[in-house]
Amino acid sequence: MRAATFSPVEIVRTKRRDVLNLASENGVQNVRVLPHPHPTDGYIQLLVDMDEARSLFDRIAFIQEVSDLLAVEVHAFDGGGLDPRFRRTMESEAIAL
């Protein structure tokens, strides 16, 4: 019997409140899930906005904590650091929590 597979959005939404609490603690705002064409690849991609006063270390802490919480590898892109054209594309595909 094959194990059920869940989309990245479903995985993150199961722990939505906890993810948003971790975001708040680490200066992360506007957490969005990027759909993945191959959900069985074993990782989740997030698009986030960082508070201006926060650093790369805060984003790394958020990534590690969410990864531990969800028991899956997490990648988080800071929308503020992306090329505007690339950001628009990512934002159009992203799904808000």
Burial 37-65 (b: 16+ CB within 10 A, else e): eebeeeebbbbbbbeeebeeebbebbbeb
Residue 37 binned pLDDT confidence (cut-offs 50, 70, 90): low
pLDDT of 2 reads 43
Length of the chain: 97
> Is pLDDT at 53 greater than 70 in this prediction?
yes
- Which sign does the torsion angle of CA 31, 49, 38, 43 carry? negative
pTM: 0.86
Has residue 1 been placed in a domain? no
Q: How far apart are CA 27 and CA 14, in angstroms?
A: 22
CATH code (residue 36):
3.30.460.10
> Is pLDDT at 62 greater than 60 in this prediction?
yes
Range of the domain at 50: 8-96
> Is pLDDT at 51 greater than 50 in this prediction?
yes
Q: Is 60 helix (H, G, I), strand (E, B) or coil?
A: helix
Has residue 24 been placed in a domain? yes
